[in-house]
Amino acid sequence: MGCVSSQATVPIDDIIISIFGIDNAGKTCLLRSLAGNFEFDCVPTVGLGQESFMYNDIKLTVYDLGGNAKFRSVWERFYAATWGFIWVVDASDEARINESKEALHKMIQHEFLKTKPFIVVANKQDKEGAIKAADLKKRLDLPKKIQVVDAIVTQPNIEEKKPNPGVSAALDLLINTIIADYPKLASKRQVDLKKQEEIDQREKEEKRARIEKARAEREAKAAEEAKQADAAQAQ
């Protein structure tokens, strides 16, 4: 891990990437492996996981987003900041391949992700019936330029203290793609971050308005009840 091309024309100090995928795909174990933690007593992430580490001279911050269906609506809050992402699939879970496909295609239609690079990891290749990368690419109906990598996230190279070769390959491919298109991605990212700030501000104002409205309604109701109580006592 760490084979970086020299195509960048501007200094790159830090990069944020995200790991997405439906629940039980192996995202948390992938995050730990990238960070050099090879203890794989992983449980599905509820919410957000995060690790920061050096990749050559670049500081990488990697987010692991929970894949439960109820949490997926939160993913989009991370789209603007991320430079690219890794999509993880449990390639042995035939019954959920279509669910993974639908979630991925819905995600990449978002305006903040349409032009951002991503790599697909066909995880759990040690399991019986696991779909190989080439076939998974067809099953997910991915564009030709998108690369899919076979991996067994939980089988790192312990002697060399390195992740599984598939994991290393996925990260190298993603980072090199980001570096090759860095100026354009940086410009797009700044625009997206500004839009996300506006969205966050609008949502904050709407929430404040709802709270104030609810408070006003409670106060009006309390005043009316007090008025009725006073009227009843006067009779």
Sequence ranges of the domains in the chain: 14-180, 196-235
Please state, in angstroms and rounded to a whole number, the distance separating the CA atoms of residues 206 and 93.
41
Q: CA 148 to CA 33: how far, in whole Å?
A: 18
Chain segment 193-202, per-residue pLDDT in tens: 999 999 999 9
222 assigned to a ligand binding site: no
> pLDDT at residue 232 above 90?
no
- Could you tell me if 198 and 189 are in contact, meaning their C-beta atoms sit under 8 angstroms apart? no
* Four-point Cα dihedral 55, 57, 59, 62, nearest 10: -20
Taking a C-beta distance cutoff of 8 angstroms, is the pair 146, 137 a contact? yes
Residue 24 counted as an annotated binding residue: yes
> Which tens digit of pLDDT belongs to each residue from 23-54?
999 999 999 999 988 887 777 777 789 999 99
Query: What is the per-residue pLDDT across 83-121, written as a single tens digit (0 to 9) for each?
Result: 999 999 999 999 999 999 999 999 999 999 999 999 999
- Model pTM? 0.86
CA–CA gap between residue 161 and residue 158 (Å, rounded): 5
Flag whether 45 is marked binding. yes
> Is 26 marked within a binding site?
yes
CATH class held by domain 14-180: alpha beta
124 three-state secondary structure: coil
| Average pLDDT for 128-133 | 96
- Is 115 annotated among the ligand-binding residues? no
Residue 9 pLDDT > 80, yes or no? no
Question: Residue 69, annotated ligand binder?
Answer: no
56 is in an annotated binding site: no
